[in-house]
Structure 1
């Protein structure tokens, strides 16, 4: 756990420890703290007393329960591992097994064996598949927690510019399969990386008291997949507008295993909330579909979000990572949904847990051609 918290010791942030209405885990709260540090390095940094509310919109959080079919053959106890997860909302790496590099390295510490089975680097994300085995129960959703660094990154991702996602599947009380996704948001994306993943604990993200220290360090050399294509939409005018909300599609990057959509958001929160009350925050979420009727799963990096504390010209630059689009699809539709939040007690003290101030509502969809 120290890897997640060490960079916030000097911040002394007032983080509420029971954010039940937001349904976040203890690890998500740690990610929120990291996101606050990232926000402080921007010009429109977050005031200390708004750290919980504003930082919520930065943290994408923990994604649990998706699949990577390559593990099916490597975990006989699981059976057909792929079929267990094919309907999971967070499953986006459909072609993981076709492009991943076999690693097959096991490290054991304090009676716990961690095996990195496969890894893939597509230039946008680094995804590492691994298993956890031991003699004891590790909790509901354990992950391998620890620092990840590649020498080619230098200091670029020391505090911000990246975002981690963790996907976990419980096989039995003592066996788990996981996927660690390291998203490269702002910084270098080299053709080859020499990375070290220094795992120092097995951590249950639903109950961080379930923590098992150890040393599971893995060294990985990964080549970026060939075939990355980037298309700019900056001058295409693909936008969505509503009262107080402006969204634009700025770029699309396709790799052999993922498609990443880059967006720009401006939100006048008072106008979008249709009220002039106490502090309000806004978070935009998205549904991605094609002209064939397919709806795509996605990993949503939310960036800073929006609040009444920001200036009206504040811009957030989120991105959506999904799988490759269907080969017969000719157009993609992105539908934004506006979520407005408030503090539960709506008091003068701008801190504490959040809840929706109103029902989320959809605004105008954005449509662009693929061919």
Structure 2
């Protein structure tokens, strides 16, 4: 499904026609969380030097400057691999991330709550941080740390956040940030500035937990593909794949005919991957961006580590064309003053249509 910005971009809204709805502060926070993680473009902020906690990571070494190295989150139950613990077999993507991450153990404490970054890894596209949290009070089952990963000097991006309670007022979590930039960077500067923790009980705990990191990507092998397949007015082009020691990222583009645009509200393209040895690979999408409309989109998707004996990858595009309905359309505009219902534009395509395009073969060796 498209994110909330993609769903709202082409909506023609009459601001004089709206329906007010009562929503709680927690519900507003959840909408805000979704929107913030879905912004397509934003201005890159300047790198500030007065950040409280900072580290520079080069390969698998860590150096600090002007700081006392923070203490470990010693009271949190020991979980050797937070990546795998939180994934819990859901995708398999994080099976090897711990091996190639750098142990950080950087902590900040504010208002009785200590947040610790445990591990950090950057694969050239996505920054992934595991963290732990200790509190002097119970925060419920699903506290949300208000503050996205800001990958500096990029055009914006998306991310994922997950947290799990592991003890009395003790939590571990994973937060990621993926850039929309088509070109991979070998080195990135990242800020994670948390100014509040949102609770399902409608409470908002204010504080200051600020971190700054500089991360290097591991050595990677990039394969330029430039292969396309087309069917039923939808064209998919795979531009390149990037292989790292712990993952593989595929960059692909979708283009849609004018006839399809007139018929369907939205078109999404996902991809699956297998190799010539019979292995199927799990992955997670990094989102997509578009400079023209919501049909011509540049996507990327990251998959788990590739079998070193594989010589070919088989990439299969899966297309879904669908109608907006109240069930799949995020039709709400929230401001501090009001909540406005968003009208769904009229199209003649009904329900949805799915089909699979021909395979694209990538030679690895």
Cα offset, 1:162, TM superposition: 2.4
Cα offset, 1:79, TM superposition: 7.9
User: Which residue is equivalent to 1:138?
Assistant: 139
User: Which residue is equivalent to 1:261?
Assistant: 250
Cα offset, 1:325, TM superposition: 0.6
Whole-Å separation in 2 of the counterparts to 1:139 and 1:27: 20
User: Which residue is equivalent to 2:56?
Assistant: none
User: Which residue is equivalent to 1:163?
Assistant: 158
Whole-Å separation in 1 of the counterparts to 2:277 and 2:311: 8
Whole-Å separation in 1 of the counterparts to 2:287 and 2:312: 24
Cα offset, 1:194, TM superposition: 4.6
The SS at the match of 2:305 is: coil
Q: CA 1:80–1:163 in 2, change beyond 3 Å: closer, same or farther?
A: closer
Whole-Å separation in 1 of the counterparts to 2:350 and 2:140: 30
The SS at the match of 1:141 is: coil
Cα offset, 1:86, TM superposition: 6.0
State TM-score, norm by structure 1: 0.66
Provide structure 1 residue ranges, at least 5 long, that are not aligned to the other structure: 1-12, 19-24, 39-70
Aligned pairs for 1:327-338 within 5 A: 327-338=308-319
Q: CA 1:209–1:282 in 2, change beyond 3 Å: closer, same or farther?
A: farther
Whole-Å separation in 2 of the counterparts to 1:28 and 1:340: 27
2:324 paired residue among 324, 343, 352: 343
Cα offset, 1:242, TM superposition: 1.1
CA contact (8 A) 2:83 2:94 kept: no
Aligned pairs for 1:85-96 within 5 A: 88-96=89-97
User: Which residue is equivalent to 2:175?
Assistant: 180
User: Which residue is equivalent to 1:98?
Assistant: 99
Whole-Å separation in 2 of the counterparts to 1:176 and 1:351: 43
Whole-Å separation in 2 of the counterparts to 1:97 and 1:111: 29
Q: CA 1:27–1:139 in 2, change beyond 3 Å: closer, same or farther?
A: farther
State TM-score, norm by structure 2: 0.67
CA contact (8 A) 1:282 1:305 kept: no
Aligned residues: 298
Does residue 290 of the first structure (1) align with residue 275 of the second (2)? Answer: yes
Whole-Å separation in 1 of the counterparts to 2:183 and 2:284: 20
Cα offset, 1:168, TM superposition: 2.7
Q: CA 1:196–1:78 in 2, change beyond 3 Å: closer, same or farther?
A: closer
Cα offset, 1:248, TM superposition: 1.2
User: Which residue is equivalent to 1:9?
Assistant: none
Provide structure 2 residue ranges, at least 5 long, that are not aligned to the other structure: 1-12, 23-29, 43-71, 330-341
> CA RMSD of the aligned region, Å?
4.0
Bigger helix fraction: 1
Does residue 26 of the first structure (1) align with residue 31 of the second (2)? Answer: yes
Whole-Å separation in 1 of the counterparts to 2:276 and 2:237: 20
Deviation string, structure 1 residues 234-284 (Cα, Å, up to 9, x no partner):
2xxx32221111101111112222211110111237448xxx65x621111
Aligned pairs for 1:211-250 within 5 A: 211-225=204-218, 227-234=219-226, 238-250=227-239
Deviation string, structure 1 residues 73-127 (Cα, Å, up to 9, x no partner):
9953558867645653344232222222221122111111111111122322221
Bigger strand fraction: 2
